[in-house]
Amino acid sequence: MKLLILEDNETLADGMYKKLKEIGFIADVFYEGDEGLFALETSTYDLLILDLGLPGIDGIDIIKKLRSSQQNLPILVISARDRLDQRILGLDTGADDYICKPFELDEVVARVQALLRRSNNQTSNSIKYNDLEFNSQTLSLTRGEEKIELSKRELTIFEYLLQNLNAIVSKENIVEHITSIDDEFNPTAVETYVSRLRKKLGNSINLKTVRGLGYMMS
Averaged pLDDT for residues 90-117: 92
Q: For residue range 150-181, list pLDDT tens digits in order.
A: 888 888 899 889 888 899 999 888 888 888 87
At 122 the pLDDT is: 65
Rg of the chain on CA atoms, in Å: 18
Q: For residue range 2-38, list pLDDT tens digits in order.
A: 999 999 999 999 999 999 988 889 899 999 999 999 9
Is a pLDDT exceeding 70 seen at residue 192?
Answer: yes
Averaged pLDDT for residues 92-113: 93
Measured CA to CA, the distance from residue 33 to residue 28 in angstroms comes to 13
Q: For residue range 110-160, list pLDDT tens digits in order.
A: 999 999 888 776 666 788 889 999 887 777 889 988 999 988 888 889 988
Nearest 10 degrees: Cα torsion 13, 54, 109, 45: -100
**Distance of CA 169 to CAs 143, 186, 209, 218, Å?**
25, 16, 10, 12
